């Protein structure tokens, strides 16, 4: 079993290497390797993960370990319930993305490197979720950052794609420093880098409240960057020029999910340091509201989804911050399912229309029936419509926050109340922007190109993943009803809050009525295009970081040119000057040379005569 | 006959040859200077041969060798001078500076009327 797990981690990297080797010689082979490899990985993930769900005992193994002084670095893997569900999520979404990319990137000349990078991306996420050593986890974590950089910049001929990739890389890398320092602090404190050892030591007690505030805060910084929370949230919407399947992968299963996963993995640490949880809760409250607000007013379909990811991730952090572990993880899984569905469906729309702007869409209901059906389910799940998975998981999150506000002891009551009220408000806004996007894309007056009949449904390779993803989107609510079947015993058992659910549904229904009324009244966009001033975080970064770094770079360049280069240039110039003197003699006049020879011979003769 | 007479003549002849090689601008006259030096050496060889009464007359034999080699050399050298005249239009050694170390070709090779015809 454990060797299967090692194989599972290694497989995507091997696939990537092979598809890069054969990629440009055989197109069919690349496609076969990518899709077949991810299918095999998914099968392996099922074999490894399903026996670990429920009340199974976690398995782990140390494959290799260093014996130098200090805590040992270990190549060790560990699978518990959390790792198992994350493995399933990552590999399912990755497999569907690979299948989907067959259609979406059918004519792309850079398909081989794309497929290879998707494989590496998936393998890195798998490494993060099964790593038992903090340094191994860091390797996977950084590999994901690098892969996201390459994949966002897939269309590197576009200026905005390059800028978005650099921004994503720099912002997440900066935040990753938090993880690095947290690893060092934890290693010094516990004399081990093994996550399971550290966490069981913390769970064992003996630590004062907030004694471990430093590593918890450092980890919070890392996950805030990776999961695009305020104030490091701006990279995620700017990463939208990447191919849409990549957005699905980043938003649903890998990159941003890794942040939530890390909090869940290090949960005993956070529980022992509620100060960090307070910070996380406040950050989450601000982020979810901001994300929903910008999703409400943007005109770009992919940006709506990107901002909604920011907002939904904040829900997960909110749940984790108030101690609702199961609710947070289940919302992560639910979000992974429906956000993958949404992005792939949006990719189908973009593929058909050729633009991501919602003003170029409209009236697509009849033209794209499959996309319409699946995206309706996805948006319904996002908005929390009754039988879909988002309803149950969001209800669990909000209910847990209400419990924490009334009787919780983990975070301060006012923080919990702030979080609760923001969650309710954001749920309403979520419904509003989902409904608006739905209406703008599929209803209303068709845009000229749509009306001209140029739009056609996407190929089967793109539609099959959509239908497959509707299954967890529609039926995932069962998992929320029986969390112990997945996350094992000890998770809180009452995730369903009937009264709250009824209230929220009424609120959501009321909002839907208001939005529909506004839509009918304005005949088109439900509300005028308002421009909400964005919090000036990007400007702050620009003034505080980017410009000083640029100045410093200018200074360094000047130093290099005027100081370091001056020595090299000086050496060259002096050699050349010396050469100039010697070159005077080489004037090409043979008689001059002979004169020197004769004079030299005479001088030698005289010297010989004098010495004799 | 004292030995220093032919040696004096030979040194005068050699000095004239050196002077011609170093100073004359006409390549043919430079060659004549070379011949003068060679023959000064020949006189030395013959003079010492006679002075030491060498049984095998190595000095005279060597002088004959040098005369032959000088003939070959002057033939070769005059051919070179002829080629120089054809390509450059003159045989002024002061102006034959193609071997000078310079950054780039400053003056294109002058094409003589003979070649351009």
Q: Residue B15 belongs to a domain with what CATH number? A: 1.10.287.3510
Please check the confidence at residue A345 and state whether its pLDDT lies above 80: yes
Which residues are A357's β-sheet partners? A300
Of A62, A128, A117, A115, residue with least CA distance to A89 = A128
Alpha helices in chain B (DSSP H): 4-23, 27-52, 58-88, 113-116
Mean per-residue pLDDT, A464-477: 79
Sort out which chain A residues have CB atoms less than 8 A from B18's CB and list them.
Answer: 598
| Distance in angstroms (rounded) separating the CA atoms of residues A518 and A359 | 18
pLDDT tens-place string over residues A13-46? 888 888 888 877 777 777 888 888 888 888 888 8
Average pLDDT of the segment spanning A544-560: 88
Q: What is the mean pLDDT of residues A374-384?
A: 84
For residue A153, pLDDT over 60 is answered with yes
Q: Which residue has the higher pLDDT, A403 or A528?
A: A403
3-class SS at A366? coil
Min Cα–Cα distance to chain A from B39, Å: 18
Q: What is the pLDDT of residues B82-102, one digit of tens each?
A: 999 999 899 988 888 877 776
Specify whether the CB–CB gap between A464 and A39 falls below 8 A.
no
The answer to whether residue B41 sits within a structural domain is yes
Closest CB from B22, B96, B99 relative to A594: B22
Tally Cβ neighbours within 10 Å of residue A67: 6
The reported pLDDT for the residue numbered B29 is 93
Kindly report the backbone phi and psi dihedral angles of residue A133, in degrees, each rounded to the nearest multiple of 5, phi listed first.
Answer: -105, 135
Q: Where are the beta strands (DSSP E) in A166-274?
A: none
User: Residue B22 and residue A589: Cβ atoms within 8 Å?
Assistant: no
Secondary structure element (H or E) that encloses residue A12, with its range? helix A2-22
**Into how many domains does chain B fold?**
1
Tokens (6 digits) for B66: 């040098």
Give the residue among A138, A126, A123, A10 at the shortest CA–CA distance from A73. Answer: A138
Contact between B96 and A590 using a beta-carbon 8 Å cutoff: yes
The Cα A413–Cα A408 span in angstroms is 7
Find, among A98, A121, A123, the residue nearest to A111 by Cα: A98
DSSP designation for A153 = G
* Percent over 90 (pLDDT), chain A: 4
Q: Indicate the burial class of A146 (C-beta count within 10 angstroms; 0-12, 13-18, 19 or more).
A: middle
Residue A266 CA to residue A118 CA, distance in Å, equals: 27
Residue A454 has pLDDT above 90, yes or no: no
B22/A598 Cβ within 8 A? yes
Q: Which residues pair with A300 in a beta bridge?
A: A357
Q: What is the mean pLDDT of chain B?
A: 86
CA distance A577 to chain B (A): 14
Q: Which residue in A359, A334, A338, A218 sits closest to A276, CA to CA?
A: A218
Dig out the tokens for A331 from the structure: 């919302």
A252-264 CB burial, b ≥16 within 10 A, e <16: bbbbbbbbbbbbb
Gap between the Cα atoms of B39 and B11, Å rounded:
10
Q: What are phi and psi of A486, to 5 degrees?
A: -105, -55
Q: Is residue B106 in some structural domain?
A: no
- Whether A176 contacts A215, CB under 8 Å: no
Query: A563: distance to nearest CA of chain B, Å?
Result: 29
Helices (H), A545-587: 547-559, 565-585
**H-run or E-run covering A60:** strand A59-65
Q: Would the CB atoms of A591 and B23 count as touching at under 8 Å? A: yes
Q: Both tokens of residue A89?
A: 């999520």
Q: Express each pLDDT in B49-82 by its tens digit.
A: 999 988 888 999 999 999 999 999 999 999 999 9
Q: Which run of H or of E encompasses A161?
A: helix A159-190
User: In the structure encoding, which two tokens stand for residue A355, read together?
Assistant: 């633009």
From chain B, the residues in CB contact with A595 under 8 A are 22
For residue B100, give how far its alpha carbon lies from the nearest alpha carbon of chain A (Å): 4
- Judge whether residue A449 has pLDDT over 70: no
For residue B64, whether the previous peptide bond is cis, meaning omega lies within 30 degrees of 0, is no
Q: Which two tokens stand for residue A282?
A: 């406040």
Q: H or E stretch including A61?
A: strand A59-65
Rounded Cα distance between B74 and A546, Å, is 80
Q: How confident is the model at residue A277 (pLDDT cuts 50, 70, 90)?
A: confident
> Per the domain annotation, does B46 fall within a domain?
yes
Query: B59 and B49 in contact (C-beta within 8 Å)?
Result: yes
C-alpha distances in Å from residue A510, one per residue of A77, A312, A400, A528: 49, 21, 23, 20
Per the prediction, chain A carries an average pLDDT of 82
pLDDT value for A32: 81
CA distance A78 to A608: 91
B111 assigned to some structural domain: no
Confidence of residue B116 (pLDDT cuts 50, 70, 90): very low
Beta bridge partners of A94: none
Contact A587 B100 (CB under 8 A): yes
B97 and A583 within 8 Å at the Cβ level: the answer is: no
- pLDDT at A338 > cutoff 50: yes
Pair A518, A444: CB distance under 8 Å: no
What range defines the domain where residue B89 resides?
4-100
For chain A, the farthest-separated pair of C-alpha atoms sits apart, in whole angstroms, at 125
Interface of B to A at Cβ within 8 Å reads 18, 21-23, 30, 93-94, 96-101
Q: Would you state the pLDDT for residue A369?
A: 78
Enumerate the residues of chain B whose CB falls inside 8 A of the CB of residue A588.
Answer: 96-101
Integer angstrom CA distances of residue A378 from A97, A359, A372:
16, 21, 10
Burial A557-576 (b: 16+ CB within 10 A, else e): eeeeeeeeeeeeeeeeeeee
Pick B98 or A339 by higher pLDDT: A339
Find the CB nearest B97 among A583, A589, A598. Answer: A589
In chain B, % of residues over pLDDT 90? 62
More reliable by pLDDT, A408 or A545: A545
User: Is the per-residue pLDDT at A428 higher than 60?
Assistant: yes
Which position has the higher pLDDT, B117 or A154? A154
pLDDT of A524? 62
Query: Is-above-0.80 flag for pTM?
Result: no
CB contact under 8 A, B97 and A588: yes
Locate the chain A residue with the closest alpha carbon to B25.
Answer: A591
Confirm whether B19 is domain-assigned: yes
The closest of A447, A446, A437 to A526, measured between CA atoms, is A437
Cβ-based contacts of B107 with chain A (< 8 Å):
none
* Closest CB from B22, B98, B100 relative to A591: B22
pLDDT at A404 over 60: yes
Separation of alpha carbons B31 and A422, rounded Å: 108
* Exposed/middle/buried for residue A583 (C-beta within 10 Å: 0-12, 13-18, 19+): middle
Are the CB atoms for A189 and A170 separated by under 8 Å? Answer: no
CA angle A230, A249, A107 (to 5 degrees): 130
B93 closest CB neighbour out of A583, A587, A591 = A591
Q: State how far the Cα of A276 lies from the Cα of A162, in Å rounded to an integer.
A: 34
* Token pair 């990319």 in the structure block, residue: A101
**pLDDT for B61:** 93
C-alpha A496/C-alpha A481 separation (Å) is 7
* Cβ pairs bridging A and B (under 8 Å): 30
User: Quick one: pLDDT at residue A490?
Assistant: 62
- CB contact under 8 Å between B97 and A591, yes or no, is no
Task: State pLDDT tens for residues A208-231.
Answer: 777 778 888 888 888 888 888 888
Q: Is residue B59 a part of any domain in this protein?
A: yes
- A77, containing H or E segment: strand A74-79
Residue B117 placed within a domain = no
- Contact flag B21-A587 (C-beta cutoff 8 Å): no
A586/B101 touch (CB, cutoff 8 Å), yes or no: yes
- Local confidence band at A440 (pLDDT 50, 70, 90 cut-offs): confident
Distance CA A148, CA A133 (A): 23
ipTM exceeding cut-off 0.90 for this assembly? no
Residues of chain B contacting A586 with CB distance shorter than 8 Å: 99-101
Q: Which of A149-153, A356-360, A493-497, B4-8 has the lowest average pLDDT?
A: A493-497
Q: Would you place residue A269 in the very low, low, confident or very high pLDDT band (cuts 50, 70, 90)?
A: confident
A405, A416 Cβ separation under 8 angstroms: yes
In a domain, B107, yes or no: no
Chain mean position to CA A381: 21
Pairing between strand A74-79 and A59-65?
Answer: antiparallel
């Amino acid at each position: 079993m454990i060797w299967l797990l090692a194989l599972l981690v290694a497989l995507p990297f091997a696939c990537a290497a092979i598809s890069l080797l054969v990629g440009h010689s055989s197109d069919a082979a690349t496609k076969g390797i990518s899709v077949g490899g991810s299918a095999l990985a998914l099968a392996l993930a099922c074999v490894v993960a399903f026996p670990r769900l429920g009340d199974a005992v976690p398995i782990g193994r140390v494959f290799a370990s260093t014996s130098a002084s200090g805590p040992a670095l270990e190549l060790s893997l560990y699978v518990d319930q959390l790792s198992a569900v994350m493995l399933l999520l990552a590999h399912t979404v990755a497999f569907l993305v690979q299948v989907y990319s067959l259609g979406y990137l059918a004519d792309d000349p850079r398909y081989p490197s794309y497929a290879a990078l998707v494989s590496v991306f998936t393998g890195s996420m798998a490494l993060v979720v099964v790593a038992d050593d903090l340094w191994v986890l860091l390797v996977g974590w950084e590999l994901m950052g690098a892969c996201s950089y390459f994949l966002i910049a897939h269309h590197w001929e576009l200026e905005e794609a390059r800028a978005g990739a650099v921004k994503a890389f720099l912002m997440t890398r900066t935040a990753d420093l938090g993880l690095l320092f947290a690893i060092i602090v934890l290693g010094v404190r516990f004399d081990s880098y093994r996550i399971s050892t550290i966490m069981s030591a913390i769970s064992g007690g003996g630590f004062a409240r907030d004694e471990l505030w430093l590593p918890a805060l450092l980890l919070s910084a890392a996950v805030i960057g990776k999961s695009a929370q305020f104030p490091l949230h701006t990279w995620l919407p700017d990463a939208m020029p990447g191919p849409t399947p990549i957005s699905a992968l980043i938003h649903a299963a890998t990159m941003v999910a890794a942040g939530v996963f890390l909090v869940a993995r290090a949960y005993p640490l956070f529980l022992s340091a509620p100060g960090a949880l307070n910070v996380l809760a406040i950050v989450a409250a601000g982020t979810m509201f901001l994300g929903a607000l910008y999703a409400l007013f943007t005109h770009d379909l992919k940006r709506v989804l990107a901002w909604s990811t920011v907002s939904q991730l904040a829900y997960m952090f909110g749940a984790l911050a108030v101690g609702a572990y199961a609710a947070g993880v289940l919302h992560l899984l639910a979000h992974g399912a429906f956000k993958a569905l949404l992005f792939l469906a949006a990719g189908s729309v973009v593929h058909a229309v050729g633009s991501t702007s919602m003003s170029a869409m409209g009236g697509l209901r009849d033209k794209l029936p499959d996309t319409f059906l699946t995206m309706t389910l996805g948006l319904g799940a996002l908005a929390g419509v009754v039988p879909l998975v988002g309803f149950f998981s969001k209800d669990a999150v909000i209910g847990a926050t209400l419990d924490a506000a009334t009787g919780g002891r983990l975070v301060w009551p006012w923080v919990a109340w702030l979080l609760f009220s923001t969650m309710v408000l954001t749920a309403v806004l979520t419904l509003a922007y989902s409904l608006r996007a739905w209406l703008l894309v599929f209803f209303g007056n068709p845009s000229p190109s749509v009306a001209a009949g140029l739009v056609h449904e996407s190929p089967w390779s793109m539609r099959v993943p959509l239908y497959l993803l509707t299954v967890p989107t529609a039926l995932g609510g069962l998992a929320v009803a029986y969390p112990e079947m997945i996350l094992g015993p000890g998770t809180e058992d009452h995730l369903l809050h009937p009264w709250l659910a009824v209230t929220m549904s009424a609120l959501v229904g009321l909002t839907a009525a208001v939005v529909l009324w506004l839509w009918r009244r304005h005949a088109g966009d439900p509300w005028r295009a308002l421009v909400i001033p964005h919090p000036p975080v990007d400007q702050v970064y620009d003034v505080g970081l980017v410009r000083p770094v640029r100045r410093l770079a200018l200074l360094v360049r000047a130093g290099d040119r005027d100081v370091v280069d001056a020595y090299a240039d000086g050496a060259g110039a002096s050699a050349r000057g010396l050469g100039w003197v010697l070159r005077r003699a080489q004037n090409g006049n043979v008689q001059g040379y002979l004169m020197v020879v004769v004079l030299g011979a005479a001088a030698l003769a005289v010297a010989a005569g004098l010495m004799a | 006959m004292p030995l220093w007479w032919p040696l004096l003549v030979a040194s005068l002849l050699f000095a004239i040859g050196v002077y011609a090689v170093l100073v004359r601008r006409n390549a043919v006259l430079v060659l004549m200077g070379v011949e003068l030096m060679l023959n000064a050496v020949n006189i030395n060889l013959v003079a010492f041969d006679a002075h030491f009464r060498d049984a095998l007359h190595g000095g005279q034999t060597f002088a004959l060798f040098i005369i032959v080699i000088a003939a070959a050399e002057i033939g070769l050298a005059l051919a070179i001078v002829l080629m120089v005249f054809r390509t450059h239009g003159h045989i002024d050694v002061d102006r034959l500076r193609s071997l000078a170390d310079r950054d780039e070709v400053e003056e294109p090779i002058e094409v003589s009327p003979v070649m351009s015809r």
